[in-house]
Structure 1
Amino acid sequence: MDSNIKAFAEEEYIPTYAPSLPVPNVQEMVRRDPLQLPERYTRNHEEMQNSIDNYHLSFEIPLIDLSLLSKGDKAEPNKLDLACKDWGFFQVINHGAARNVLQGMKDATAEFFELPLEEKNKYSMPANDIQGYGHAYVVSEKQILDWSDALILIVYPSHYRQLTFWPEQPKRLKEAIEAHSTELRRIAVELLDSLSVIMGMDNDALLGLHQELVQVLRVNYYPPCCNPDKVLGFSPHSNSGTITILMQEDIISSLQVKHGGRWMPVKPTHNALVVNVGDAIEIWSNGRYKSFEHRAVTNENMARISYASFIIPHDDVEVEPFDHISDGGRSCTRMYKKVRFGDYLRQSIRRKMEGKAHTDFAKIET
């Protein structure tokens, strides 16, 4: 194929992922009637139990110093290894992302969500995909809904962007997304280097499996709820991709991780970023590292916004346990089969979130 034709074909290809049924806008519903709690959002007691509210337990989630990792510190990789084994979550400090860039993202997106609904609806998700403004993972008219709205955009590679879904207002939002995503892309590359090393490979091994990094931004808006003990902002799930980097608000905690059968809060650490291991890492490591279930809760008094950047492989990448891990010297049964990542991702998005039920697609039946 002529190189110019090939380049044009690559630029024209923009993947779609999965449809999601249209549902009411939660922010607008709360604005009209703050005391309204429709049955379709109400969870039963079993779904809401086993939650631990003691903040001191959240301190157990490890802090990883990215500057030490990048400088070749000997102790920090061991901390990262234990974090991925025991929690699947850690908070990154000294990551180098400029505070004005992170704050600029918060300010611009907060301004977007305060726009009139008719303005935000100009960027509504299409019938066949989840890019844009709206709700993902809604596959049934009867499923219980999350107490949140979202803006989802593919940021990298840049030729995947569907700019019709990038809001024009506020004017600084596009620039803020670009700056924020560029910083997090750099951090993701550094983390993939370190994860490769602690998995016993060359530092560029995981990055090589990603070709161009695919980076998806999801900004979640969680309105206050008159009865927060009966709703969830985000249903329990694990992330399908490689890693997720999350920026939280400093003063409002809503992220919870399921550990030891109980839901534990992740207390925000000032200027830290929360990172979690995705299903792809769990499969590559043959279950050595875990993609833990997590969810988001709401509160009665304040809206909350979170900013998740998902780092995922390209559709055609085949994901399976690395031979040196699954066939190593220790007794080790291969737990996962080879899957095409695009197939794995789409089967996950096409169903409602039910913890880790979607990972059965990649598991070897025993």
Structure 2
Amino acid sequence: TESEMARSPKREGTTTPFLAATGQEATAAIPPAFIRCKAERPKVPHDHFADAIPVVSLAGLDSGNGAARLSRLRNIATALEQWGAFQVVDHGVDAALISTMLDLSTRFFALPAEDKLRFEMTAGGCGGFVHSNRIFGEDVENWREFVSFFSYPVHSRDYAMWPSRPEGWRKVVERYCDASLELASRIMEVLSECMGLEKGAFMEACLQVDQKMKVNFYPKCPQPELTLGLSRQTDPGAVTLVLQDQVGGLQLTRDGGRTWLTVRPVPGAFVVKLGDYFH
């Protein structure tokens, strides 16, 4: 799910939609609630990309035992040992669906604040819209907006908290969740093989399969060197699939946060990250 940990430094700019949503005006300086201590501030810009995380094709992994397949499995195993993550292409998720999902996400976060707040997550809620937030145990706010909800099992879907705008959101998100869940199942099979187990070992070990969908938006920030879109963390669960746009910003560390690597966005690729289940 996250490699070891991941965070997102912020882009230059002046607009802060979520601050407007909370009744604050965007200014040349960010409010104190968002300012990180020096040790937690971004060390690498969001667009200083590195290529240490391999890009692996799933083409040909579903059949055969040839040298090319074994080489890909070794590449995945090495990436997981070193970073807990890799990027995957030729994964079977329709490119048009990915493009539509990204477009709808952009259009949702561009809506007026009052439209987004109609779906605001309440205290103790399991889904909805959130503008800025704190990771549990932290005092500093994260510079982001997001929509989050459970999408599998199907009976866990609370459609009342799913945005009704832009038009087509629900239909597209349902298709995207189904496709990404299918991909996650394939990834679990690949991970089983990488660890020398039978192909279905990890899926069989899961007593219940849950899926949570989260769509993040990191608004432009007047002082990106002082804050984070998402602070250092690991993810619960087994596997997280991250679809980046071309702005980038996902960062990984393997030394406790002393150094960070910014994952280069690859069009149409998913970043596969191992969660706490595997650690």
Q: Structure 1 length normalisation: TM-score?
A: 0.65
Deviation at 1:27, TM superposition (A): 6.0
Query: Per chain length, whose mean CA-contact separation is higher, i.e. which structure has more relative contact order (CA < 8 Å, sep 6+)?
Result: 2
The alignment covers a number of residue pairs equal to 257
- 1:82-121 to structure 2, matched below 5 A, reads 82-121=78-117
2-structure distance, mates of 1:136, 1:203: 40
Of 105, 108, 126, the match for 2:122: 126
Q: CA RMSD in A?
A: 2.5
Aligned equivalents of 1:168, 1:53: Cα separation in 2: 31
Q: Distance in 2 between matches of 1:259 and 1:52?
A: 18
For residue 39 of structure 1, the aligned residue among 32, 35, 42 is: 32
Residues in 1 aligned to 2:90 and 2:24: alpha-carbon distance in whole angstroms: 38
Instruction: State the Cα deviation string for residues 39-63 of structure 1 (Å, max 9, x = none).
Output: 000112221264377846x211111
Correspondent of 2:254 among 254, 259, 275? 259
Is contact 2:46–2:250 with CA below 8 Å preserved after alignment?
A: no
2:148 alignment counterpart: 152
Match among 268, 272, 276 for residue 271 of structure 1: 268
Structure having the higher Rg:
1
Match of 2:233 in 1: 237
Where does 1:329-344 land on structure 2 (aligned, <5 Å)? none
Structure 1 residues 53 and 101 mapped into 2: Cα distance closer, same or farther (>3 Å)?
closer
Change (3 A) 1:242 1:74: same
SS of 1:101's equivalent in the other structure is helix
For residue 186 of structure 2, what is the aligned residue in structure 1?
190
Q: How big is the shift at 1:130?
A: 4.0
Q: Which amino acid aligns with 1:271?
A: G
Gaps of 5+ in 1: 1-23, 283-366
Picking from 169, 172, 176, the partner of 2:168 is 172
- After superposition, the C-alpha distances for 1:111-160 in whole angstroms (9 at most, x for unaligned) are 11122222211111122134111158637898110000110011111001
Q: How has the CA–CA distance of structure 1 residues 30 and 200 changed in structure 2, closer, same or farther, with 3 Å as cutoff?
A: farther
Superposed, which structure 2 residues align to 1:195-344 within 5 Å? 195-250=191-246, 252-260=247-255, 261-282=258-279
Task: Specify whether residues 159 and 140 from structure 1 end up closer, same or farther in structure 2 by C-alpha distance, changes over 3 A only.
Answer: closer
**Per-residue CA shift, 1:62-111, capped at 9, x if unaligned?**
11111233234121111111111101111001112111100111111211
Inter-CA distance 42–213: structure 2 relative to 1 (3 Å threshold)? same
Aligned residue for 2:167, secondary structure, equals: coil
What is the identity percentage for the equivalent residue pairs of Structure 1 and Structure 2? Answer: 26
1:338-357 matches, within 5 Å, as none
Superposition misfits of 4+ residues, deviation over 6 angstroms: 139-142
Label 1:54 to 1:136 Cα distance change in 2 as closer, same or farther (>3 A): closer
Change (3 A) 1:94 1:113: same
**1:200/1:171 CA distance change after superposition, 3 Å:** same
